[in-house]
Structure 1
Amino acid sequence: MLDGPRLAPLSGRARQLVVILHGYGADGDDLIALGEAWRQALPDAAFVAPDGPEPCDHMPSGRQWFPLDLRNPREYWLGCIGVRAAIDCFLDAELRRLALDDGALGLVGFSQGTMTALHVGLRRKNAPAALVGYSGRLAGPDSLAEVTVRPPVTLIHGGLDDVIPAVDMGVAATALSSAGLAVETHLIPDIGHEIDGRALGFGLAALSRGFQAD
């Protein structure tokens, strides 16, 4: 069972849930800082940043959602398929715990976490309020006919990213738009594989819009 650091809603009662999926070799402690940055503006939101299910193969102090050895499209696709059930189970349990449904869920990812967030979020039984992906890519862009829901998607990427090139954001956006999803993109030209204050602002705006639409 997945687990990780949590932040309770500042208002005292959760009306939304934001789940943040970390990147390869990191863990939930690295990404719960996004919740710290957003919680004043989203006082009714609970935040959780689960740790990936496995120790990271190449960074043993961190975690991974799935192995990254070949770093090719098939590995991304099979990895996302393999971890989907664990993430779905975690999301279902957290929503039940807070007496919420998917319409109150914001799913956020960074890098490998973006791949998994997009894969899982587009295949839920009911649509999340918002999907936000930082510095990531879309696994299986040719397999979007199987998506079950179409939540709003916001993709944010640094123009200087030397881990996952910014062009991957455009590839993902084109595929998602062609599948009928509403996609918003933000390229921040002068940052790399990271999240700065501007990127935080774009993510917060996407979550706020999604929750207001619920």
Structure 2
Amino acid sequence: MVELNGPRLEPLSGQARQLVVFLHGYGADGNDLIEIGRAWQPLMPDAAFVSPHAPRPCGQAPMGREWFPLTFRDLNERWTGVNAAAPVLNAFLDAELQRHNLPGSALALVGFSQGTMMSLHVGLRRAEAPAAIVGYSGMLVTPESDAEMERFAADIRARPPVLLVHGDSDDLIPVQALFHAAQGLAALDVPVEFHISAGIGHGIDQEGLRQGGEFLARRFNRRATP
């Protein structure tokens, strides 16, 4: 199995009590999101941040990486893709938690685009629920067939609070994907909040960053309170 790696930020406090893992989008790499961790450090001084490079070279952007290939010729390719990439990501998450001697409940996943697809897919299937998931400009990947949809719902093991953030001018993954994801998560009894960034395309604005950082800080503080 491929071993993931990427840039890291150690906690400002010197002692990791939480772990925030950034999952980048298609054609980028771990360097694309790690600076968000630097911006969020004052909100979460006890958090370690890591942004692994996805396991595959990107077919459409050879200098970048992908969690799974996208050809847009197969309706089920996203579902096939998230399932294929999940084991290597789970192994990385387990190793990082162990490295910091943290329980699975101290984990937060933050995804962008294809990274949001991975965050939701893996985060809802962890044996121990993460503290939170933040998904930017992404979608909840579901299978095409009704038979597989039954298995999809049965496979959900964790229901961490989720924040979805999306630009209303996104022409790559339209904002309707946020509403579909929020509806799908609510149907699975996953607590979900969302924020729509006005005039923003396939990207993250300052308000979206603020909302994401404050959401995680609140969730971590709740976990820390007896």
TM-score of the two chains, using structure 2 as the length reference: 0.92
Q: How has the CA–CA distance of structure 1 residues 71 and 116 changed in structure 2, closer, same or farther, with 3 Å as cutoff?
A: farther
| Whole-angstrom CA distance in 2 between matches of 1:77 and 1:105 | 24
Query: What secondary structure sits across from 1:204 in the alignment?
Result: helix
Instruction: Tell me which amino acid in the other structure corresponds to 1:92.
Output: D
Show CA shifts across 1:1-54 (max 9, x none). 000000000110001000000000000001101101101111100000000001
Percentage of identical aligned residues: 54
**5 Å matches for 1:20-35?**
20-35=22-37
2:129 matches 1:127: yes
Instruction: Tell me which amino acid in the other structure corresponds to 1:41.
Output: L
Task: Tell me which residue corresponds to 2:54.
Answer: 52
Show CA shifts across 1:172-199 (max 9, x none). 0001001101000101121111111101
Show CA shifts across 1:140-183 (max 9, x none). 17423320010001000000001100000000000100110100
Conserved in 2, the CA contact under 8 Å of 1:110 and 1:135?
Answer: yes
Instruction: Tell me which amino acid in the other structure corresponds to 2:220.
Output: F
Instruction: Tell me which amino acid in the other structure corresponds to 1:181.
Output: V
Q: Which runs of 4+ in 1 moved over 3 A?
A: none
Task: Tell me which residue corresponds to 2:67.
Answer: 65
**5 Å matches for 1:79-118?**
79-118=81-120
Show CA shifts across 1:91-145 (max 9, x none). 0000000000111111000000000010000000000000000000111174233
Conserved in 2, the CA contact under 8 Å of 1:144 and 1:176?
Answer: no
Unaligned runs of 5+ in 2: 144-148
Q: How has the CA–CA distance of structure 1 residues 72 and 111 changed in structure 2, closer, same or farther, with 3 Å as cutoff?
A: farther
2:161 matches 1:152: yes
Q: How has the CA–CA distance of structure 1 residues 181 and 35 changed in structure 2, closer, same or farther, with 3 Å as cutoff?
A: same
Q: How has the CA–CA distance of structure 1 residues 152 and 83 changed in structure 2, closer, same or farther, with 3 Å as cutoff?
A: same
Instruction: Tell me which amino acid in the other structure corresponds to 2:64.
Output: G
Q: How has the CA–CA distance of structure 1 residues 71 and 149 changed in structure 2, closer, same or farther, with 3 Å as cutoff?
A: farther
Conserved in 1, the CA contact under 8 Å of 2:197 and 2:205?
Answer: no
Considering only CA atoms, is the larger Rg found in Structure 1 or Structure 2? Answer: 2
Unaligned runs of 5+ in 1: none
Aligned residue-pair number: 214
| Whole-angstrom CA distance in 2 between matches of 1:168 and 1:137 | 5
Q: How has the CA–CA distance of structure 1 residues 73 and 123 changed in structure 2, closer, same or farther, with 3 Å as cutoff?
A: farther
- CA shift at 1:71, angstroms? 6.4
| Whole-angstrom CA distance in 1 between matches of 2:73 and 2:116 | 15
| Whole-angstrom CA distance in 1 between matches of 2:154 and 2:204 | 31
Task: Tell me which residue corresponds to 2:212.
Answer: 203
Conserved in 2, the CA contact under 8 Å of 1:104 and 1:129?
Answer: yes
Selected match of 1:173 from 160, 182, 185:
182
Query: What secondary structure sits across from 2:26 in the alignment?
Result: coil
| Whole-angstrom CA distance in 2 between matches of 1:44 and 1:72 | 43
Task: Tell me which residue corresponds to 1:78.
Answer: 80
- CA shift at 1:72, angstroms? 5.4
Conserved in 2, the CA contact under 8 Å of 1:9 and 1:43?
Answer: yes
TM-score of the two chains, using structure 1 as the length reference: 0.97
| Whole-angstrom CA distance in 2 between matches of 1:129 and 1:79 | 25
